[in-house]
Amino acid sequence: IGDVPVLRVTRRGTEAVHFVQAALEPGAEVLLLLDWERRFDHMQQHSGQHLITAIAEQVFGFKTTSWELGRQRSVIELDTPSMTAEQIEALERSVNEKIRERVPVMVRELAADDPEIETVRSRGLPDDHAGPVRVVDIEGIDSNMCCGTHVSNLSDLQVIKLLGTEKGKKNKTNLVFLAGNRVLKSIEQSHSTEKALTSLLKNGPGEHVEAVKRLQSSVKMLQKNNLNLLRDIAVLIARDFKSKPVQSQLFVLHRKEGDSEFMNIIANEIGTEETLLFLTVGDEKEAGLFLLAGPVEAVENLGPRVAELLGGKGAGKRGRFQGKTTKMSRRGEVQALLQEFISHRSPEA
């Protein structure tokens, strides 16, 4: 409206209430600008929904109980527990046949007491409705009460693609669809993805799935090998510490590639009756995991303070306190805290 964007529009009785970003001058003459690309997209999806709804009910007896016009895809809720692949294929074929037949779509208004209203498909009028009743007709296919915007001919839909179904509410099925330009955009997006995968996988589109399966299998094998190596490294680190003539009361270690199991293996191998262990894994300056292990009383006292210093959360029992950290860069502060604790600990502690 003029230079002021309209954020949304809603109906209150007979009035269309516009929510705007800034105040407007009452009585001023303004130029109204319509976002035609958005409007035409909504027209295509809405008329597409009417067509799908009508054919689904005529052919299979599946009534539409609700629908949603999404930003990228739309969903029709059908009153059926399921749809077979054959039914979806037949429905898609039928609606696209009607598009090719260039069936007209017309809008008319009926008086609220017109007996013809009883023959029109409807979920009922709003309680605050006033004035004539708006009916949208798809010639020879459907007649439906509707206040939305629609194309004037099914040929304007271009094409409808049914993407399949999703489980809906109890005994309902959600049918997902695209209409018109959304189909073209989806194809373009899929084609771009296909080109990128062809470049990365070094093979044709028909071989992408098998190539990805091989990569997944290789990754699983590498992850398994890596885990075994980490376990071996953890054992060797612990044995190296225990082999020293004089063992320190504090053991500190950070390893970027480790995990919780890696830390627990070290703690198990070293033993925590006398030694206080502070172990961390993950990015050296960002997020990761930590483990504080040692004498039960010391860990119970220090664990929450360590978690707080590291900007994380944790829990513990029986001489182990572990959790997640968001400030791995503060490991030095934790080490200083632990050193201070040990230096003040009595010989009997």
Residue 151 pLDDT greater than 70, yes or no: yes
Average pLDDT value for residue range 85-106:
98
> What φ, ψ does residue 282 adopt, rounded to 5°?
120, -170
pLDDT in tens, 237-292: 999 998 888 878 899 999 998 889 999 999 999 987 888 999 999 988 889 999 99
How deeply is 93 buried, as exposed, middle or buried, from its count of CB atoms within 10 A (0-12, 13-18, 19+)?
Answer: exposed
Residue 349 pLDDT greater than 70, yes or no: no
Report how far residue 148's alpha carbon sits from residue 39's, in angstroms, rounded to the nearest whole number: 11
Helix (H) or strand (E) holding 74: strand 74-78
Q: Which CATH architecture has domain 37-190?
A: 2-Layer Sandwich (3.30)
> What φ, ψ does residue 138 adopt, rounded to 5°?
-105, 110
Following DSSP, what letter does each residue of 178-190 receive, concatenated?
EETHHHHHHHHHH
Report how far residue 310's alpha carbon sits from residue 172's, in angstroms, rounded to the nearest whole number: 48
pLDDT at 348: 47
Look at the pTM and tell me if it is higher than 0.75: no
Residue 88 pLDDT greater than 90, yes or no: yes
Indicate the range of 10-19, 70-79, 86-95, 200-209 predicted with least confidence. 10-19
Report how far residue 49's alpha carbon sits from residue 149's, in angstroms, rounded to the nearest whole number: 12
Structure tokens of 22? Answer: 């800034």
Average pLDDT value for residue range 28-55:
96
Structure tokens of 71? Answer: 């930003």
Nearby residues of 48 by Cβ (< 8 Å), 6 or more positions away: 74, 95, 157, 160, 177, 179, 180
Q: Is residue 158 left, alpha or beta, with left meaning phi > 0 and alpha meaning psi from -120 to 50?
A: left
pLDDT in tens, 126-149: 888 888 999 999 999 999 999 899
How deeply is 328 buried, as exposed, middle or buried, from its count of CB atoms within 10 A (0-12, 13-18, 19+)?
Answer: buried
CATH number of 222-345: 3.10.310.40
Average pLDDT value for residue range 58-85:
96
17 within 8 A of 11, measured Cβ to Cβ: yes
Extents of the domains making up the chain: 1-33, 37-190, 222-345
